[in-house]
Amino acid sequence: MTESGKLYIVATPIGNLSDITQRALQILQDVDVIAAEDTRHSGKLLSHFGIQTRMFALHDHNEKQKAQVLVDEIKAGKSIALISDAGTPLISDPGYNLVNIARSQDVDVHPIPGPSAVITALSAAGLPTDKFLFAGFLPVKQQARLGELEKYKNAEFTTVFYESPRRVLDTLQYIQQALGEDREVVLAKELTKHFESFVKGTPGHIIDWLKADKDRQQGEMVVILSPNKQDLALSPEAELLLKTLMTELPTKKAAAITAQIHGLKKNDLYKLALTWQE
Ligand code: SAM
């Protein structure tokens, strides 16, 4: 299944080992070398699936220096798979230098898709997913973290970031400070694992939930911020018209007609109508 002279970027589970794909297993079995962020950690995954492929350590500290070595091996005909400790490589994980160098030297790079905590969290959080920003990890320094969060105050899109259990309480307090007490937030924890949980509500609600039990402050977490709600002042007549038209027409058309009749922006009406359908 694998071809020589190729680099495969292979996603692995973020908790539940059954989430590995058949294609991932086949590739990991067939390649000449697996470049792994932490060979001991990934060794456990590979031995669980009976895979004995040779491993090579490629992590943040040696990636720049070793990427060319791996690319040279691929050019010499070897096939290499890159994996990270969990989820999709390069998504807040090493691999960017390797893929960048490989592509710049015309080496074929193939993604083998699978889990990633950002998409897994978004898919079940119940917040708008039509437009979102993945912000990775927020800065560790408190002032910088607050500054970063302030950028999302007026965001018209959902914002997702990874957070460490050590910082999550502070971060939620900063969210409350920067985005206001009413902003809807989702904390997605331990995804695909036994204690998976989604907590949705105001920052204050999530802070109370975390404080109620110290164990809740452990584990892997994703934080999702809802978009800033559009404060569109809609007269009762305009609202009635839009809702009535929506029963007979596509939402876009209904929004356009209402906008024309009431002198409003059709995009604003369309966005509002979408929130009614969520
Ligand atoms: N490459 C990974 C991916 O595709 O999701 C992310 C790696 S990043 C170093 C690790 C962070 O991802 C964790 O600190 C946590 O914020 C998030 N994460 C990973 N697995 C998770 C899980 N099972 N549940 C919730 N968050 C998770």
Centre a 10 Å sphere on the Cβ of residue 76 and count the other Cβ atoms it contains.
9
- DSSP letter assigned to residue 275: H
Nearest atom (ligand 1) to Cα of 15? 23
Nearest atom (ligand 1) to Cα of 91? 1
Centre a 10 Å sphere on the Cβ of residue 44 and count the other Cβ atoms it contains.
10
What pLDDT shows up at residue 235?
A: 83
Ligand 1 pocket, 162 CB below 6 A?
yes
CA of 5 to the centre of ligand 1 (A): 30
Give the dihedral sign, CA 46/97/59/78. positive
Pocket test for ligand 1, best of 82, 221, 223, 224 (most atoms within 8 A of CB): 221
Best CA proximity match to 81, nearest among 12, 25, 9:
9
SS3 277: helix
Alpha-carbon span 186 to 228, nearest angstrom: 14
Ligand 1 pocket, 120 CB below 6 A?
no
Partners of residue 199 on adjacent β-strands? 187
Ligand 1 pocket, 83 CB below 6 A?
no
The two beta strands, 6-10 and 108-112, are parallel
Helix (H) or strand (E) holding 57: strand 54-57
Whole-prediction pTM: 0.84
CA of 84 to the centre of ligand 1 (A): 11
Best CA proximity match to 135, nearest among 113, 114, 115, 157:
157
Amino acid at 46: L
CA of 190 to the centre of ligand 1 (A): 9
Ligand 1 pocket, 88 CB below 6 A?
yes
Ligand 1 pocket, 87 CB below 6 A?
yes
What pLDDT shows up at residue 230?
A: 58
Ligand 1 pocket, 258 CB below 6 A?
no
Local confidence pLDDT in tens for the 278 residues of the chain:
567 799 999 999 999 999 999 999 999 999 999 999 999 999 999 999 999 999 999 999 999 999 999 999 999 999 999 999 999 999 999 999 999 999 999 999 999 999 999 999 999 999 999 999 999 999 999 999 999 999 999 899 999 999 999 999 999 999 999 999 989 999 999 999 999 999 999 999 999 999 999 999 999 999 999 999 756 677 888 899 999 999 999 999 999 999 898 888 888 899 889 888 76
What pLDDT shows up at residue 232?
A: 65
Nearest atom (ligand 1) to Cα of 190? 24
What pLDDT shows up at residue 146?
A: 95
Ligand 1 pocket, 94 CB below 6 A?
no
What pLDDT shows up at residue 209?
A: 97
What pLDDT shows up at residue 236?
A: 86
